[in-house]
Amino acid sequence: MFPLTEENKHVAQLLLSTGTCPRCIFRFCGVDFHAPYKLPYKELLNELQKFLETEKDELILEVMNPPPKKIRLQELEDSIDNLSQNGEGRISVSQDGSIASKNSNLNVCNVCLGILQEFCEKDFVKKVCQKVEASGFEFTSLVFSVSFPPQLSVREHAAWLLVKQEMGKQSLSLGRDDIVQLKEAYKWITHPLFSEELGVPIDGKSVFTRMAVMKALNKIKEEDFLKQFPCPPNSPKAVCTVLEIECAHGAVFVAGRYNKYSRNLPQTPWIIDGERKLESSVEELISDHLLAVFKAESFNFSSSGREDVDVRTLGNGRPFAIELVNPHRVHFTSQEIKELQQKINNSSNKIQVRDLQLVTREAIGHMKEGEEEKTKTYSALIWTDKAIQKKDIEFLNDIKDLKIDQKTPLRVLHRRPLAVRARVIHSMETQYVDEHHFRLRLKTQAGTYIKEFVHGDFGRTKPNIGSLMNVTADILELDVESVDVDWPPALDD
């Protein structure tokens, strides 16, 4: 059934006579169901012709025969597709319904600039799909985003004022919200075509326009607008051009736990004043392999806390996650992930990775929670200036849930705000080594600065091991023995 009614006839005739395409006529007549927009363009023109041919006045209609247009997809490195169309065409419908063709070419709509004509055709959809398929991405769904020319909003505003004025003569009204948005109509037409061509579902919330122009149009007075822009809008001589077709994949996330066995390896690249201090890092030893296998453009590394360059991470390791930006390959079997983990472990004796797996963006939140809320266990080798006996350190074993205040350490003050942080030392266990050394095993609140708790940081951490023992103490070695975050899930070897 044709979607227009007798009430729409005058508006349809007015718009068509000024150079508006059938689909835009539907939009201004408030046709808000999908089926009519999906009809082939030639069929739409024929149906509109039948609907209007009973009018006594001569109408100007577009011809769809299919036009001698040339769509050319350039295979260039900049991924720019140029589409060209030549000429204009009109046909006259006389009182008896006969058609006299003046030109065989398609008129470009004065409202949508051919968006609902040229770029809704299967040929154009196939060209875009060829670009997608040639990009080499693996995907199971598609988000289709279109940036329309800003002037479309201005042209639509002009057409709305024209129709609003004419409907006012009939004591009818037309609000801006009564018009079906161009992006919605385009979505209704093209999404099924893209989905059929690519064999994947299309995201329904994927077309966007220039909101700044819309905001300006909402503020301008009608009389001021009409002084600056023709109403109805002029008919363009050519269809708008596709400037660029870009393909990109949503980020994927890989998580795991790492052990660091070197005391000369930073977690992330160590660069001071533009100069690199060490040749590698934990981040790079892991991410370089992931970038290559996932064919990603870049990455973002995060972890549950961090250790200093001279601190080892032992036990079950430290949880980490890596965001891989714009990956071309995303489908991996569990066996392939295991092989990737083994490849990372075989590449260096400084680190080892375990529980490597694909995760969601949302799941990474579990790791970040552990940075402040969970506990961590450390083992430290401590030196004292005064000679000590075993009995001098045994009292530390009895201290439970010791509350300390830590002013931002001097060594990190250049990158952390100055503040006093309250932390808890849950338990301590000592092991005597000799009269100037002992080992201290600590279980602490996450975020505790262990080195400063030992030497005091010139009194910035209170109390500290030095003040508790009434000695000058320093830390010689530090190991992270456990990070008590139950994420990511442990995997079988």
Backbone angles phi, psi at 32, to 5 degrees: -115, 20
Same domain, residue pair 413 and 463: yes
User: 93 pLDDT exceeds 50?
Assistant: no
Query: For position 243, what pLDDT does the model report?
Result: 84
Confidence of residue 71 (pLDDT cuts 50, 70, 90): very low
Query: For position 82, what pLDDT does the model report?
Result: 30
Same domain, residue pair 50 and 175: yes
Same domain, residue pair 205 and 338: no
Q: Which domain holds residue 479?
A: 374-483
Q: At which of 183, 216, 247 does a domain end?
A: 247
Stronger pLDDT, 165 or 384, i.e. the higher one? 384
Query: For position 206, what pLDDT does the model report?
Result: 55
Buried b (16+ CB within 10 A) or exposed e, 437-472: ebebbbbbbbebbbbbbbbbbeebbeebbbebbebe
Query: For position 148, what pLDDT does the model report?
Result: 87
Tokens, residue 329: 């390959």
Same domain, residue pair 328 and 264: yes
Same domain, residue pair 263 and 115: no
Q: Is residue 67 part of a domain?
A: no
Same domain, residue pair 357 and 378: no
Residues ≥6 apart with Cβ < 8 Å to 96 = none
User: 70 pLDDT exceeds 60?
Assistant: no
Least confident of 81-95, 282-296, 336-350: 81-95
Confidence of residue 170 (pLDDT cuts 50, 70, 90): confident
Same domain, residue pair 239 and 139: yes
Hey, is 313 helix, strand or coil? Answer: strand
Same domain, residue pair 476 and 338: no
Q: Which class for 270: exposed (0-12), middle (13-18), buried (19 or more C-beta within 10 A)?
A: middle
Over range 319-328, report the average pLDDT. 97
Q: Is residue 62 part of a domain?
A: no
Give pTM, 2 decimals: 0.75
Q: Is residue 98 part of a domain?
A: no
**Nearest-CA neighbor of 44 among 120, 105, 99, 112?**
120
Q: Is residue 78 part of a domain?
A: no
Give the active site residues: 308
User: 63 pLDDT exceeds 90?
Assistant: no
Same domain, residue pair 219 and 285: no
Same domain, residue pair 324 and 420: no
The CATH number of whichever domain residue 260 belongs to comes to: 3.30.70.2510
Residue 98 CB neighbours (<10 A): 9
pLDDT tens sequence across 181-235: 998 999 999 999 999 999 999 876 655 556 777 788 888 888 898 888 888 898 8
Confidence of residue 106 (pLDDT cuts 50, 70, 90): low
Tokens, residue 141: 């769904």
Same domain, residue pair 199 and 285: no
User: 60 pLDDT exceeds 90?
Assistant: no
User: 434 pLDDT exceeds 90?
Assistant: yes
Over range 1-18, report the average pLDDT. 90
Confidence of residue 92 (pLDDT cuts 50, 70, 90): very low
pLDDT tens sequence across 225-283: 888 888 889 888 888 888 888 899 999 999 999 999 999 999 999 888 888 888 899 99
pLDDT tens sequence across 115-145: 999 899 899 999 999 999 999 999 999 888 8
Query: For position 429, what pLDDT does the model report?
Result: 98
> What's the whole-number average pLDDT of the chain?
86
Q: At which of 196, 226, 247 does a domain end?
A: 247
Query: For position 110, what pLDDT does the model report?
Result: 94
Same domain, residue pair 218 and 314: no
Query: For position 90, what pLDDT does the model report?
Result: 31
Q: Is residue 68 part of a domain?
A: no
The CATH number of whichever domain residue 451 belongs to comes to: 3.30.70.3190
Residue 203 CB neighbours (<10 A): 13
Q: At which of 224, 247, 270 does a domain end?
A: 247
Over range 286-311, report the average pLDDT. 96
User: 416 pLDDT exceeds 80?
Assistant: yes
Least confident of 79-93, 126-140, 258-272, 288-302: 79-93
Angstrom distance (rounded) from CA 143 to CA 360: 18
pLDDT tens sequence across 352-409: 999 999 999 999 988 877 666 789 999 999 999 999 999 999 999 999 999 999 999 9
Confidence of residue 79 (pLDDT cuts 50, 70, 90): very low
User: 72 pLDDT exceeds 60?
Assistant: no
Q: Is residue 489 part of a domain?
A: no
Total domain count, the chain: 3
Q: Is residue 59 part of a domain?
A: no
Q: Is residue 130 part of a domain?
A: yes
